[in-house]
């Protein structure tokens, strides 16, 4: 039997209809490199940069969420559209639903606060620490941001060192600089 695009599409539709796809995955090209996008029925759960090991990312998600991961680009179309608009400078606030399943309690608190930093603005690690109730927790905030499974959409690039120094970024400093320049920050 020859596997045609039509057959593949029917298979994907059937798997989706029967609830057999716990995690949909696809890739997209962007100005900061190819992004691996992953979503559960609850929402976007993971964005990985091209220099992250794809097999390791898929393995971690399989172990933490479900091994039922399938290439299903259609489910991620809304995410791709919003990211395309963001990278074109036409979107400031993401509206796609997020699934926080890969994030622990403290990191979730940090990332939810980070998600409220306005487009074009920055906050310091210390400010975020203070706002999440751990005034001496700037380093812990940095660690939580460094493990952000949904970068760009949850804008950890908007957190900098006190005094304005750029600080670190899980996706690398060139990407952080590019994102901040895009936003005019």
Same domain as 111, residue 179 = yes
- Decide if 144 is inside a domain: yes
Catalytic residues: 156
Tokens coding 145: 């941001």
Domain that holds residue 11: 5-87
Q: Across the strands, what pairs with 23? A: 69
Is residue 100 one of the residues assigned to a domain? no
Strands 159-160 and 123-124: parallel
Last residue of a domain, one of 87, 115, 146: 87
In this structure, are 116 and 171 located in the same domain? yes
What is the rounded CA–CA span in Å between residue 166 and residue 100?
26
How far, in Å, CA of 57 to CA of 48, rounded? 7
**The 3-state secondary structure of the chain, one letter per residue:** CCCCHHHHHHHHHHHHHCCCCCEEEEEECCCCCCEEEEEECCEEEEEEECCCCHHHHHHHHHHHCCCCEEECHHHHHHHHHHHHHHHCCCCCCCCCCECCCCCCHHHHHHHHHHCCCCCCCCEEHHHHHHHCCCCCCHHHHHHHHHCCCCCCCCCHHHEECCCCCCCCCCCCHHHHHHHHHHHCC
Question: Is 113 in the same domain as 166?
Answer: yes
pLDDT in tens, the chain (185 residues): 555 555 445 545 555 555 656 999 999 999 999 999 999 999 999 999 999 999 999 999 999 999 999 998 999 999 999 999 999 999 999 999 999 999 999 999 999 999 999 999 999 999 999 999 999 999 999 999 999 999 999 999 999 998 878 988 999 999 999 999 999 96
Domain membership of residue 97 (yes or no) is no
- Given this model, what pLDDT does residue 5 score? 56
The last residue of one of the domains, among 59, 87, 115, is: 87
- Read off the CATH number of the domain in which 141 is found: 1.10.10.10
Beta bridge partners of 98: 44
Given 57, 87, 117, which residue is the final one in a domain?
Answer: 87
What is the token pair recorded at 41? 């029925």
Q: What is the pTM of this model?
A: 0.88
Same domain, 75 and 141: no
Please tell me the total count of domains within the chain.
Answer: 2
Residues 14 and 63: their CA atoms lie apart, in Å, by: 24
Reduced to 3 states (helix: H, G, I; strand: E, B; else coil), residue 24 is: strand
Report if residue 147 sits inside a domain: yes
Q: What pLDDT is recorded for position 8?
A: 47
**pLDDT for position 163:** 84
Cβ-contact 36, 55 below 8 angstroms: no
Residues 11 and 83 in one domain: yes
pLDDT at residue 12, as a whole number: 55
User: Same domain, yes or no, for 81 and 112?
Assistant: no
């Amino acid at each position: 039997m020859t596997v045609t695009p039509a057959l593949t599409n029917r298979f994907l539709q059937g798997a989706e209809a029967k609830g057999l796809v716990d995690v949909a995955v696809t890739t997209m090209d962007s100005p900061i490199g190819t992004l691996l996008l992953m979503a559960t029925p609850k929402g976007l759960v993971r964005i990985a940069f091209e220099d992250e090991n794809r097999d390791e990312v898929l393995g971690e998600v399989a172990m933490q969420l479900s091994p039922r991961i399938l290439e299903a680009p259609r489910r991620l179309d809304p995410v791709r559209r919003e990211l395309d608009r963001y990278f074109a400078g036409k979107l400031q606030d993401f509206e796609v639903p997020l699934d926080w399943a890969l994030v622990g309690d403290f990191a979730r608190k940090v990332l939810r606060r980070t998600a409220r930093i306005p487009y074009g603005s920055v906050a310091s690690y210390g400010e975020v620490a203070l706002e999440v109730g751990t005034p001496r927790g700037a380093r812990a905030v940095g660690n939580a941001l460094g493990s952000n499974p949904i970068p760009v959409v949850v804008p950890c690039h908007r957190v900098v060192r006190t005094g304005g120094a750029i600080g670190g970024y899980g996706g690398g400093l060139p990407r952080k600089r590019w994102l901040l320049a895009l936003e005019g920050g």
